[in-house]
Structure formats: C-alpha cells, structure tokens
Amino acid sequence: MNQNPLMQMTGLPDFPNIHADHVVEAMRKVLASAREELKRLEDASQPESPEQAWDVVIGELEALMDRIHQPWGVVTHLLGVRNTEALRAAHAEIQTEIVALSVEMSQSQAMYQHFCRLRAAGSDSSEVKRRILDSQLKDAQLSGVALDGPDRQRFRVISERLAKLSTQFSNNVLDATKAWSLLLSTPQDVQGLPESYLAMAAQSARSQGHPEASAQNGPWLLTLDFPSFGPFLRHSRRRDLRKRAYMAYITRASSGERDNGPLIDEILALRRDKADLLGFESYAALSLETKMAEDVDAVRAQLYALLTASRTQAERELQEIEALARDDGHDIPLRQWDIAFWAERLREKRYALDEESLRPWFPFPKVLDGMLNLSSRIFDLRFEDRSTEVARWHEDVRYYIVTNLAGEPRAAFFLDPYARPAEKRGGAWMDECLGRSARMGSKEAPRLPVAYLVCNGTPPVDDKPSLMTFREVETLFHEFGHGLQHMLTTVDEGLASGIRNVEWDAVELPSQFMENWCYDKATMAQISGHVDTGHPLPDDIFERLRAARTFRAASAMLRQLDLALVDLALHHEHRGELSVQQVRANVGEQTSLLTPLAEDRFLCGFSHIFAGGYAAGYYSYKWAEILSADAFAAFEEAGLSKDAEIRAVGLRFRDTVLASGGARAPMQVYEDFRGRQPSTEALLRHSGLT
C-alpha cells in the first residue's frame, strides 16, 4: 500500500503527515502520468457534437491540470507556512520539471489546434465558455506556441529559470528577516514602548533562549517580523535604535549569500527577453495583455492623476509632523526612521488615539466572530468551526465550513492567523486549496471550494489571546474578501470559478471592499470587545478612529504610487542601462518627500513583484481600490444602518462580484452590480482628498 499522502489527494490534504521526502517521489509519478495523459489528449479526435468536443478537450484538460495542482499546491503552500531546508531542497529539485511540463502544455501545437477547432465548431456558445477558450488561446500565444526551434527552447529555459529565481528570492527574504534581531536589555532601550509590546517582545526573547525574560524586567527581543518591527518604529523613543532597525529592514537580502540584487537584475533581463521573444515592447506590455487596463499609457495616466491629487496634500502632512517634532525639541529635518514615530505622536495629539492602546478592544477571537457575523448579515451565510475534525499544519490553524441559511455547504476555509518568523514567510495572502468544479465533483454536486487564508498577526502572549492592532484587523478583512470571491463562486466550470480567470487588476476588488466595513459602526460593535470586560469599543473612540481614517492618507497614497511607478518603470522603460537603484531614485524624485537613502535596498525585499504575481501589476491595488470604494458607496447610499436595504445590496454584490468568478469580464460584472461604470469620487472621499 502506498503511504505517500501527496499521492492520495482525494479530499483535504493530510498536512501533519506530509514531509519533504514525499515530494519528489509523488510529483515525479504525477508528472509522468500527466505527460501520458497530455499525449493521449493531443492525439484525441474531437467528436462532432460541440458539447462533447468541449468535454473531450477542455474537460479533460481541466482534470489533467487539477491532478498536477492538487499535490503541487500543497507543497507550495507548506513552503510558505512550514518552511524547512529539506522542503526547500525538495521543492527546488522538482520545480523545474513542473515548469517544464506547464510550458510544454501551453506550447502544445496539438492543443492549440484543438482550441481553434472548438472555436470554429461553435463550442464556445456560452459566455463562460468563450472566456475560457479565449483564455486558453491567449495563454498559448503568450507561452510561445508560435515560436519555432531555438526560440521555443529559449522560452522554456527562461520560464524555468524565472520560477527558480522567484523561489530563491522569497527564501532569501525569509532568511534575512529571521536572521536579524536585537536584544534590548535595559529600561532605556525600551523607552516609549507600550506594555503590550513589551510582553510580546519578552515572549520572543524567551523563545530564543532567555527563559527569565519578562515584560517588566526584560530582556526584550526586537525582530524584523512586522508585528515587532512596525510598532517599534511607531513608539520607540530611542532614535538610534529606530535607525538601526529601519536600516536593517530596508537592507534585507541585499548582501552576502542572501543578496537578491543579482537576482533582480537577472529576473528583469529574463522578463525582457521573454517579452522580446513574443514581440512585445516590454514586459509590462506583455503583462497587460491579461489585465483590465488597456495599455501602459492608461495605467500611467491613472497613477499620475492620483499623484497630482495627493502630492501637495502629502507635503502638507510632512510639514505638520515636522512642526510637531520641532516643537518637541527635535532637530529637523526628519529622516526615514523618524516619520512613523512622529506621525504616531501627531495622531495621538489630534485624535487622542494611540494605536497600541486599542489592542485590548480587538482580541482575535472577537474580531473573527464579528467578521463572520457581518458576512452572515450581508451575504446570508453561516460559519461552523470544524477545526478539530480536520488535519492542520499547525495547532493555531482554524477550519470553517461555510453554509447557506438552510445549512447546505457552500465552501470551507483554513485560517492561519499568527506570525511564525522561524518557518512562515511574511505578509498575508489567500490561496486555493480546492477550486469549485462540477467536473471534479460527484454526479450529485460540484466539488466545493476550499481556501487558505494566511496572515501574520500578533500571536497570543502568555495566557491572553492575540490582541490585534487595527491594521491587523483590516488585513484580516482584506484576506477574507479574497477568500469570499474564491468561496462564493457559482461557476461550475473549474477553469473560470472563484479567482481563476479573473484579470489581475480586478482581483483586489473584494479584498479592499471588505476593509471598508472596519469603519462601519454596526460592524465595529460586532468585532470589538475589551479583553477584560467584553465591552465594545466606546463610541467616542470609534468616532476618533473613523476621523483618523484620512490621517496622512495622501502620504499613504504617495507610498503606493511610488511602488507602482517603480514597478512600471522597471518593467517598461528599463533596459539595463541604469541600475535598478537609479531607476528607483528617478521615480522617487516625483514621489518621495524625503531625500532617498543611498543605503536603501528595499527592492531586494519587494517580493510582490519579484516573487509574487504583481510584476508590472502593482498598480492593481490602486486600480481595484477605485472599484472597491465605489462598490462600498452603494452600501452607503442604501444606508448603512438599514438592515433590509444593506442585505439587498449585499446579496446583489454576492451574486455578481463574488459569484461570477472569471466567467465574465470584470467591468461587465461590476456594471451588473453597480448599474454603471465606476467613479473615482468615493476613493477620493474616503481618502480625504476631495
């Protein structure tokens, strides 16, 4: 009997029993079987019936892709949440073979001809089938199906190398993040840091070999993991230590054996080569072929319009914190490691609001329950905690079944909420465990979707639950929004269900939409409850929190525009004549209010564009934010305090934006919900820029 759990993927993965030594054996067998299946599919004759032809080609292709994705998806997921040297080695050994087969499938002339015959036979009679067939044809074209001989082989080599570099980039960032720490041992070292931070830092110190560490007496461990690094920059009165931590953060993975600098140069060069092979002006132009935005000029026009709207206001915001620092006796000009600290002091002064002091009102269990209650209220859903009934990769992971009001299952999700710097990469993300599919289901019902929701929130300390910052609350809502789009799809064609086949610059719409609910009074009453008393966040504090929503909003927008424009510059104009640092500096002349630091190597840790899916697509956050703000405005117009009206709009949002998956063009889906094209008014209003 075969005991390899990666080869028994008939349901939820058996996470605790999946180990690195299972990977190569399982995936080699899967790939060998897949190649045989691909050959059979290539040689198959299409039936005359369009419906039968669709099932023979697209149906079998979906099944083939699913058999590969199931085990490999688990491996890549575990690499992100349970990273080990052995798993890295196994992943690296097999990754090239995975990419090679993927390119081989996309470049298959026989499959391309199958798609063309389906089109000619009228098999794409429905909108979802047209979208899927268009996607398959475009994927083949963008994978070099028309290339011959050396160019075709070069394309495969580039694809394999880029996949390897992406993984190496991510691993370097993870290793560099966990390699740096600073032990704080005296009361002077922790001046200004709140009690909740000291408790967390002492717990970190205990985990790293200091059993005597306590919140009162230390020592305390500072790390580059964001629940540690972020609050330290906002609250530490030790400017020298803020600088030390900041410099460590912006130089992560930029030296020694973990240096991502050479990887960036190679990644960009290979992407340019890929675009050249396919006849595109740049990699950005290639990337936009599968996005909503029409072309690079359209993206740039949007970004510069927002830059014009925010630059002057951002300059005023900087002057405000400079004035506060000057009044407090600080020598200006401020440096990069000062901004978060003095901005927090201004926020406290203006709104009588201290972010750290809000933590007790946001215990993770209360926030999670409140978020699920909101989804029940506006989307007619129910959630059942089944964590003890399934295999999980860590004891902190939760598992929920999602049902409709009648108790019929709709989906499920795993939630991994807390940071684990030793084994889990930073950031937050949603990914697919299982996708909805009629073909992969039973005769009675389709296979239901299951999502991974992964955050890096503040972990529980001692006997207290995780006490979240408001930013962590927003992040949880954000990832849950992604999860809702994956889970609430009603599309039965597996190649267009959930987030599949959704243009990348539309995929942030549901996630950013959900963040808006954190500023809704009724929702706040549900997600807040003081850890000691259970009382919700007082109304006066909530009103100050809502007023503070636009605090330094222009500066935050400027930061996002800087990253989006750097991404665009690197992937469009940049041809290697300048260094990537010079490209970033040139963009910074328009977007940065402080003189850039010569030592800044932030790009070496910019995983979104070098190890994620946002290459030439970071603009998507702002592009989709216009949609998400305008979508939430529909609820505002209905009246946020009116339950019946809100539920009606919520069901319409559920049945359009969340249900449609990749079966319809995103703008058509949006117009189905809103009845018109999106307006920028709501985004500018929410940002305080009108």
Active site members: 479
3-state secondary structure of 263: helix
Contact between 518 and 470 under an 8 Å Cβ cutoff? The reply is yes
Strand-strand pairing, 450-457 and 429-434: antiparallel
* Gap between the Cα atoms of 483 and 312, Å rounded: 37
Spatial separation of the C-alpha atoms in residues 371 and 520, rounded to whole Å: 12
Instruction: State the Cα–Cα distance between residues 464 and 468, nearest whole angstrom.
Output: 12
- Whether the CB-CB separation of 296 and 564 falls below 8 Å is answered with no
- DSSP lists the bridge partners of residue 403 as 382, 409
What is the side-by-side order of every strand in the sheet holding 398-404?
381-385, 398-404, 409-418, 450-457, 429-434
Three-class SS of residue 94?
helix
Contacts of 677 (CB under 8 A, 6+ apart): 667, 670, 671
CA-based torsion, 341, 347, 350, 354: positive or negative: negative
Q: Is-contact 264 258, C-beta < 8 A?
A: no
The two tokens of residue 589 are: 């002349």
Asked if 58 and 32 touch (Cβ cutoff 8 Å), the reply is no
Taking the C-alpha atoms of residue 162 and residue 225, their distance in angstroms, rounded to an integer, is 27
Interhelix angle for 620-638 vs 296-327, to 10°?
Answer: 80
Contact assessment for residue 457 and residue 421, using Cβ atoms and an 8 Å cutoff: no
Long-range CB pairs of 101-104, under 8 A, 24+ apart, other chains included: 101/31, 101/34, 101/35, 101/38, 101/68, 102/159, 103/143, 103/144, 103/155, 103/156, 103/159, 103/160, 104/38, 104/156
Residue 588: left (phi > 0), alpha (psi -120 to 50), or beta? Answer: alpha
- State the Cα–Cα distance between residues 362 and 489, nearest whole angstrom: 30
Q: Quick one: CA torsion of 41, 449, 289, 682, rounded to 10 degrees?
A: 170
Q: CB–CB of 551/234 below 8 Å?
A: no
Least Cα distance to 220 among 263, 183, 268, 173 occurs for 183
Buried b (16+ CB within 10 A) or exposed e, 648-666: ebbeebbebbbbbbbbbbb
Given a contact cutoff of 8 angstroms between Cβ atoms, the answer to whether 215 and 229 are in contact is no
